[in-house]
Every structure is written in C-alpha cells, then in structure tokens.
Amino acid sequence: MSRKRWKTRIALDNGMFEYLKIFHDRQRQHSALGMLTPIEFENVHFTRQSVA
C-alpha cells in the first residue's frame, strides 16, 4: 500500500476525485452493465451500432 502525504485538504480531495472518477469508476465492473466495465460496455455497444 502506498502512502502519500497531502499538503492540503484540497489536494487530498482532488486526489480522491481523480482516483474515483478517473480510475475506479472506469475500471470496476457494473452490475447494471452486465458485469462489464464502462469502457467494455461502450466498446460492445458502439460495435453493435456500427454493424447494424
């Protein structure tokens, strides 16, 4: 586990936002998307649309 010291609370908030919105939400599987990541779901969805 990496430990990072944040200079300000705002820097900590920004780091948490970046992790959650940019990394975590794009990488985790969503049950509403058929247990796919958002990126996988978009790839499947847009591939189907372009074929149709």
Domain tally, the chain: 1
Q: Is residue 37 part of a domain?
A: yes
The structure tokens listed for 48 are: 């189907």
CA distance 44 to 14: 31
Q: Is residue 22 part of a domain?
A: yes
- Residue 14: predicted pLDDT: 92
What is the reported pLDDT for 51? 61
Dig out the tokens for 10 from the structure.
């705002």
In this predicted structure, what is the pLDDT of residue 49? Answer: 66
Q: Does the residue 36 lie in any domain? A: yes
Q: Is 34 left (phi over 0), alpha (psi -120 to 50) or beta?
A: left
**What per-residue confidence (pLDDT) applies to 18?**
85
Whether residue 4 is contained in a domain is answered as: no
pLDDT score recorded for residue 52: 56
The tens place of each residue's pLDDT in the chain, 52 residues long, gives 568 899 999 999 998 888 888 777 677 777 888 888 888 888 888 877 666 5
| Segments forming the whole domain that contains residue 45 | 9-51
CA gap 26, 37 in Å, rounded: 6
